[in-house]
Chains A and B, each alone.
Chain A
Amino acid sequence: MSAKTDNLRVNDFTIKVGNVNGTGSASANALLMKIIFRMGVPVVGKNIFPSNIQGLPTWYEIRVTEKGYRGRSGDVDLMVAMNPESYKRDLEELSPGGILLYDDTWPRPHFLTRTDITVIGVPLARMCNAAFKVARSRILMKNVAYVGAVAALLDLDLDIIHTLLREMFAAKPKLVDLNLQAIALGYDYAKQNFGNVSKLKVEARDLTSDKVMMDGNTTAGLGCVYGGATFGAWYPITPSTSLMDAFVKYCKDLRVNPETGKHKYCITQAEDELAAAGMIIGAAWNGARCFTPTSGPGISLMSEFIGFAYYAEVPMVLFDIQRTGPSTGMPTRTQQCDIQLCAYASHGDTKHILLFPSDPSECFDMAVNALDLAERFQTPVFVLSDIDIGMNDWMIDELTWDDNYLPDRGKVLSSEDLKDMDKFYRYLDTDGDHIPYRTLPGEDPKGAYFTRGSGHNKYGGYTEDGAEYKEVVDRLVSKWASAADKVPAPVISTASKPAQGKVKFAIISIGSCDGAVVEARDKLETEGVYLNYMRVRGFPFSAEVKDFIDAHDQIFVIEQNRDAQLYGLLLGEIDVPREKLIPVLHYSGEPLDYKFVHNALSKELKTRRQVA
């Protein structure tokens, strides 16, 4: 068999690796993706892994996309099937014309049942068993060996592989040789036996030189360092744990006095999420910038405290790295299922500020935004990331920092400020901006006040008087509403041509849906469908959100949950006709792919045009 050059698929295909978790597959896949990235070709990586440490099926998708799309393709063109448990499923998932690479140390004749694919058997286990003595090395190196085989099939650059391995194992040079040997095993075997089989090729480009590969939890943790957070409290929960890991790492790197060994930070692993919430409330009340990372179940547990912070007006920054619910749900799968939970978290009338990052770059920026907004508005602020953004490595523009940035610490009175005041009252709206002044403990006797979650009047005194109570909660909702133009503005993208036909269709979406939505929209444009697109980035919704809805007739609201939570939030908070909005919902727990969006929109457009 030899591939004709005109049939080649260069820099536009998807590799999927089916493996057993706990076998070192994650580092092998990261290596594979990085090789392509270093060749200057944009990549998208999606880790679809089990809630388990060892022994269950796990998958990793690497999309090679010269056009720089950021979502999944919905296809698999090269399947590396390393897990006998999932062979059947992996075989079925492979797109027609695709390649299946498997370990034929144990031949699997049933792979030949599909005639529309190419099957490549590489005796990975046999080769590794012969080459390596230690049992653990044999398992680990089998994975590195398939990277070698894939490298041969796709024409990956061997020099880059060598460089990467030397960088990865700089501290352990012996491992470099071991890994290189494993790469060579796979590479040589595949070259010799299947040299011309693959039509999938990677050709070097120069499209990634100003990019980095980072996950959103790392960038959010880094954002907290740059934003000046000094305190963090948390309870370990997938998929938010790596956010605190990143904060810990960068604090250790950047915030330890080299001479004294003393820290300019404090990180406390709490006994549960309730305590984590209480700790950051205590620290923020006392004037330290702080945050807690968690996921949906943690928000449920923190809800009572969130209401306290809302009513007592204490800054609070929460990162909700959303995962598939309800209950324990699928903790390692993604969803956008906490939008409504966070918007109204806690009993009683409560409304919160939400930020919706779409990628790790926005996680960095919004971490800083959240710290500023929480102190400016003296209230809980949620950053709603998800497992797809938080735990997958994304190719993003290099993060930048403005050295002129100064934190907005909000309205805090110093001893000096208090001197000129007759008397200080905690909840008085003296500036007419709905935001009262606060004071920090220890500053000045004149600044003392009593913070309570029980009924209080504008002076900070206890009350059970209806009128006094209402005065405060009415101000609170005005304060919340006034954040609408302080949260990140929606990103509105106008179609390359005006909408065709009588009905003006458009798209609203949120967070990690963006990559798939952008690509589906491009595809629709090639089919003559032109849709304006708005991605909301903050709640309360700014005026632009309503304007966008008003300017269109039918709007698809694309999101990743069953209950149309963004759709519900839009209807509940903005005065728009219900029939204008059309929910498009994806909630399998796997990151959204553009085909899903394209198919759903095509179908809806067809029926709705007929009706219209």
Chain B
Amino acid sequence: MTSFTKPLIRRKNEPTNELGLVRSDYDGAMSTLCAGCGHDGVTASMARAFFELSIEPHRAVKVSGIGCSSKTTAYFLRESHGINTVHGRMPSVATGAIAANHELAYIGVSGDGDSLSIGLGQFVHAMRRNVNMLYMLENNGVYGLTKGQFSAAADMGSTAKKGAVNELPAIDPVALALSLGATFVARGFSGDREQLVPLIKAGLKHKGFGLIDVISPCVSFNDHKGSTKSYEHTYKYYNPAIHADYVPPTAQIKADYNAGDIMPIELHDGGQITLRKLENGYDPRDRAAAVNKLFESSQSDEIITGLLYINEDQKDMHEMARMEDRPLNAIPYEELNPGAAKLKEIQKGFR
């Protein structure tokens, strides 16, 4: 079968965003994933986040690798360019694209197989470069498209559908990101859009590499008893610890939070991320504290979610490369051509 076109249904009095667009303007093709797949929830959250941020769809770029999660870039933002690259290599394509034009909003969609096994190298190096993108890692602990092998994110002791027990330690993308100095590190759950949509908005507005590790259960191959990435297990141990809201530059901060448990973080675009549900004394700008918190919670089997770490002070790739503000792809050739006279002059050094 080929692909399905999603029917466009307009409702009366649908809410519009600042651009006058409705939520369904941010949809894409019909998903071909299994019914109940966590990824579809993430897709809907991403579409909503772009809608709520009033980003013009064609000013967004979707990049992905290979796997169930990577397919989803076709299922939202139909008026955006998307590029579904090769397995585990999305970060490099994103890096090149962002080098060419840093003015667009880049969202990468990947999975635990794509990012933590075949693509581990590119994943970590994109973080080191602080490439200005939001990287969604839809994490289900399993290879779905090849029918149920463990991924590198499978927890020790977690069982496969046919009973095999995973004896290898899991790679935790959040721990990895914290150790590499990624500048926006969060975990979410496909089943909690209340928390996930604001996180995505904050990640898109963060300048630099943002990672959201989204627990996104695979209903076909990893939703059984004994799996630590099932819906049941996730709900049981779920702890939505730190909630982040993006507040655009012009908006007033709402006053319905109790003073004291809100932490505002200034962003480069003049907006803010406000954090709530913060535990006493936790500061997500403190990397050591974030690492500590993560390891403590994992020891008690708790799945801690929310924005665990943010650093707005780190230079992103564009700044580190000292590129001018104008995108490389917009510099006219006249400004790039040194000319014949210059060539003659250069060659004096080769005589």
Contact = CB atoms under 8 A, between A and B. Distances in A.
Interface in A264-323: 264-268, 270-272, 274-288, 290, 304-305, 308, 312
Nearest to B105: A442
A286 B101 contact: yes
B93 A447 contact: no
Interface string A441-455: 111110111111110
A264 B335 contact: yes
B337 A257 contact: no
A304 B121 contact: no
A162 B350 CA distance: 17
Contacts of B340: 400-403
A449 B86 contact: no
A260 interface: yes
Contact of B333 (A268, A406, A454, A462): A406
B93 A257 contact: no
B80 A448 contact: yes
B255 interface: no
A407 B3 CA distance: 37
Interface in B34-87: 56-59, 61, 63, 73-74, 78-86
A35 interface: no
B299 interface: no
B33 to A, nearest CB: 14
B3 A462 contact: yes
B81 A449 contact: yes
B37 to A, nearest CB: 18
A226 B343 CA distance: 9
A410 B58 CA distance: 22
Contact of B85 (A38, A257, A278): A278
B321 A278 contact: no
B351 A212 contact: yes
A357 B223 CA distance: 58
Contact of B121 (A275, A400, A405): A275
Nearest to B339: A403
A226 B338 contact: yes
Give the residue among B78, B99, B329, B340 with the most A Cβ atoms within 10 A: B99
B176 interface: no
Contacts of B336: 225, 228, 230, 255, 264
B122 interface: yes
B20 to A, nearest CB: 13
B100 A231 contact: yes
A606 interface: no
A109 interface: no
A275 B84 contact: no
Give the residue among A263, A286, A287, A308 with the most B Cβ atoms within 10 A: A286
Contacts of A230: 100, 328-329, 331, 336
B324 A271 contact: no
B166 interface: no
A447 B59 CA distance: 11
Given A266-B99, A399-B343, A442-B101, A271 B351 contact: no
A448 B57 contact: yes
A281 B338 contact: no
Interface in A200-258: 212-214, 222, 225-226, 228, 230-231, 233, 250, 254-255, 257
B323 interface: yes
Contact of A442 (B83, B104, B121, B346): B104
A461 interface: yes
B59 A398 contact: no
Interface residues of B, number: 61
B100 A225 contact: no
Contacts of B162: none
A212 B347 contact: yes
B95 A278 contact: yes
B89 interface: yes
Nearest to B340: A401
Give the residue among B3, B83, B98, B122 with the most A Cβ atoms within 10 A: B83
Interface in A426-474: 439-445, 447-454, 457, 461-465, 468
Nearest to B89: A278
A262 interface: yes
A457 B74 CA distance: 15
Interface in A38-87: 38
Contacts of A465: 2
B294 interface: no
Nearest to A439: B81
Contacts of B97: 282-283, 285-286, 441
A274 B3 contact: no
A472 to B, nearest CB: 13
A286 to B, nearest CB: 4
Contact of B56 (A226, A272, A445): A445
A445 B343 contact: no
B2 A407 contact: no
Interface in A377-418: 398-403, 405-407
Interface in A153-212: 212
Contacts of A461: 2-3
A261 interface: yes
B323 A400 contact: no
B50 to A, nearest CB: 13
Nearest to A38: B351
Contacts of A276: 92
B324 A257 contact: yes
B149 to A, nearest CB: 21
A445 B85 CA distance: 21
B232 interface: no
Given A285-B97, A443-B58, A464-B1, A453 B84 contact: yes
A463 B339 contact: no
Interface of A: 37-38, 212-214, 222, 225-226, 228, 230-231, 233, 250, 254-255, 257, 260-268, 270-272, 274-288, 290, 304-305, 308, 312, 398-403, 405-407, 439-445, 447-454, 457, 461-465, 468
- Pick the 4 closest A-B CB pairs, nearest first: A282-B96, A278-B92, A279-B96, A288-B100
27 contacts: A222-B343, A225-B336, A233-B92, A263-B324, A264-B324, A266-B323, A271-B121, A272-B121, A274-B92, A275-B121, A276-B92, A278-B89, A278-B90, A278-B93, A278-B122, A282-B83, A282-B94, A282-B95, A282-B96, A288-B100, A308-B85, A400-B340, A442-B61, A444-B58, A451-B83, A452-B83, A454-B84
Given A275-B122, A304-B89, 13 more contacts: A226-B338, A231-B96, A261-B322, A262-B324, A263-B321, A264-B323, A268-B95, A278-B95, A282-B98, A288-B328, A451-B83, A464-B2, A465-B2
